[in-house]
Amino acid sequence: MRCRSVGVALASGFALFVITAISQEMQPAQTGANPTAEQRAAATRVFLGLGRPPDKAAAQRAVPVYQQSCAFCHGPQARGATGPGLITSDIVLGDDHGEVLVPFLKAGRPEKGMPAFSRLADPQLTDLAEFLHQQVEDVANRGAYQVQNIVVGDAVKGQAYVAANCMTCHNTTSFAHIASKYRSPDQLQRNWIWPTRPADNSLSVSATVKIANGPTLSGRVTQVSDFRITLVDNDGKTHVIERGPGVAVQIKDPLAPHQALVMTLRNEDMHNVTAYLETLK
C-alpha cells in the first residue's frame, strides 16, 4: 500500500507568496487567489488582533516633529537610542486615539528627563500618537512587509550558470523576456526555481495506472492520495481509481529536475541567475 512507486517528484503548482513558518500558524485564510498588498495587510491585522489601523496621513504629518523632537532619544523609528524604545511601551500600546498619549506628551516625564511638549498643539500631538502607532504597525503587522530589492547577484556569473546547468532541457529562447513576465524580482526568482504549472497542462504530473486483470490507464493526475488517484485521460475523461492490491501506480513529474534544483541550489547561484534573468526584459 506504499504510495510512491518511483522516485519522482510529486508536487504542486501552488505558488502563492506565503510565509512558511510563523510560530503557531501561517497566514489568515486568504480571501482570494491573489490578494493585494493592502488586503494582505488588512487580513493579517485582523488575524493578529492588532486593532484599529493607524492613520497613515497623520503619521506622515508627524515625521518632521518626531525627527526634530523625539528621534534623538528614541531613535528614528522609535526603537530606542539613548532613551527607551517606544514600540513596546505600555503607554503607546495602551493608547487608541491619542487619548492617553496626548496628555502624557503634554506633561512629559521630567523626573526621567522626558520634557513636556506643551508647546505643541493638540492636533500635532495626535499626529505624533499616530506616528508611534504606525511604527508599531510596521513591526507587528508582518502582512504589510515588503521584500527589498532582491537583485544582489552577478548577472555574468548567472549567465554562465544557466549555460552550464540548464541547457539540457532548455534553449536560449526559453528565457527570452522572462523578467517581463513577473511583477517583481522575487516572483521571478521563485518561478525560475519552481515554475508555476501553466493552465495548458504542459507541465502537469502524469501517471500510468496498471490494474491487474483490468485496463491500464494513463493521463494527467489531478490528485492522488494513499487511497485513490484521479486521472484525466487524453479524451478529457476523468477516472477515479481506488488504490489497493493489484493497482500499480507510476507517476511522472516533468518538474523533477527542478525539485532536484530546489534541494541543491546554492544561494550565490540563485542570486546570480536571478540577476541574469532580470536583465532579460
Q: Which of residues 24-63 bind other proteins (CB under 8 A)?
A: 24-26, 28-29, 43, 46-51
Cell of 226: 494513499
67 binds other proteins (CB under 8 A): no
Total site size for other proteins, rule CB under 8 A: 76
210 binds other proteins (CB under 8 A): no
Bridge partners for 114 per DSSP: 109
Q: Which is nearer to other proteins, 18 or 167 (CB)?
A: 18
Distance CA 115, CA 126 (A): 17
Q: Which is nearer to other proteins, 1 or 199 (CB)?
A: 1
77 binds other proteins (CB under 8 A): yes
Nearest to 204 by CA among 228, 247, 240, 233: 233
Q: Which amino acid is at 53?
A: P
222 binds other proteins (CB under 8 A): yes
Nearest to 150 by CA among 29, 271, 251, 241: 271
14 binds other proteins (CB under 8 A): yes
Strand-pair category, 238-242 with 228-232 = antiparallel
Q: Tell me how many degrees the CA angle 226-257-189 measures, rounded to the nearest 5.
A: 105
Which of 155, 186, 210, 247 binds other proteins (CB under 8 A)? It is 186
Which of 35, 54, 75, 158 binds other proteins (CB under 8 A)? It is 75
263 binds other proteins (CB under 8 A): yes
189 binds other proteins (CB under 8 A): yes
2 binds other proteins (CB under 8 A): yes
Chain length of the chain: 281
Which of 6, 19, 156, 176 binds other proteins (CB under 8 A)? It is 19
23 binds other proteins (CB under 8 A): yes
Q: Which helix (H) or strand (E) holds 221?
A: strand 216-224
Q: Which is nearer to other proteins, 63 or 186 (CB)?
A: 186
Q: Let me know: does 136 contact 87? Beta carbons within 8 Å.
A: yes
226 binds other proteins (CB under 8 A): yes
Footprint on residues 101-160 left by other proteins (CB under 8 A): 136, 138-142, 145-153
What angle do the packed helices 267-277 and 155-165 form, to 10 degrees? 100
